[in-house]
Amino acid sequence: MIVCKLMIHELTAELADTHCHLDFPEFNLDRNEVIRRAKDQRLRYIINIGSSLSGTRKSVELSKQYGFIYATCGIHPHEADRVDDKILVELKELAREDKVVAIGEIGLDYYKNYSKAENQRSLFISLVKMAQDSGLPLVIHTRQAEEDTLKILKEAMPVKAVVHCFSGGQEFLKECLTLGFFISYTCNITYKKAQTLRDLVKATPLERILLETDAPFLPPEGFRGRRNEPIYVKYLAQEIARIKEITIEEVASVTTENAKTFFDLK
């Protein structure tokens, strides 16, 4: 059965939400309570993702306030038309902060095309170079832009990357795995009509999977229409365990270790 249910037993292993946006306004009224719930529910790590300059600043501040929260520095491809050198200079400065663990989310999005494709590509190339200069891994956003995304990353190799909220096909998955990338899945794999995503999960080695909520977006089945938050990563772990026919403890243990290794977490 695919629909998310309450956990049938108390989860003993710790989890990591490697991609969320606690800086977003959806959390303005109860951000501290959301974070406290995550801590109480045994989340060992939260990676708060920068998707704009202002969002990166807020992510860094959250990382300073909470020991188990880490930050990334990034500019979402939707913002590419509005990026100038001043923004990139400040972003590079923020990337030097102690608890910044990646450059992202960055990449290409030809689905919405909120920014011109050529500006997206130029920004993406600049930020990949920033990651290389900073010695940090990449958090990649790509939507209907897999060919150009791979072209840019292959030209920059070697790079360490995770493809977030993975939704590409089997061939794209194979290419990403061959390049050594990690694959991050979200709670949308629990949706009733998401069998294609579940097939991708099945084809991805557990040792290459990261868990993410992408909160406040994409809450699990049974919570759709509500705001997502980091504690719901347990439903994602539960569904991956069901797909792979293993225990949720194994999913939690392996994916949390993956997160620790990929982001060099303490």
Q: Over the chain, what is the mean pLDDT?
A: 95
Q: What is the CATH number of domain 17-24+34-263?
A: 3.20.20.140
Q: What are 177-212's pLDDT values in tens digits?
A: 999 999 999 999 999 999 999 999 999 999 999 999
Residue 6 confidence class, pLDDT cut points 50, 70, 90 = very low
**Per-residue pLDDT tens over the stretch 221-261:** 999 999 999 999 999 999 999 999 999 999 999 999 999 99
266 pLDDT band, cuts 50/70/90, is: confident
One-character DSSP codes across the chain = --S----SS---S-EEEEEE-TTSGGGTTTHHHHHHHHHHTTEEEEEEPP-SHHHHHHHHHHHHH-TTEEEEE---GGGGGG--HHHHHHHHHHTTSTTEEEEEEEEEETTT-SS-HHHHHHHHHHHHHHHHHHT--EEEEEES-HHHHHHHHHHH-S--EEE-S----HHHHHHHHHTT-EEEE-GGGGSTT-HHHHHHHHHS-GGGEEE---TTS-PPTTSTTS---GGGHHHHHHHHHHHHTS-HHHHHHHHHHHHHHHHT--
pLDDT above 90 covers a percentage of the chain that reads 94
Note the pLDDT of residue 7.
53
- pLDDT value for 127: 98
Structure pTM? 0.95
The domain segmentation of the chain, as residue ranges, is 17-24+34-263
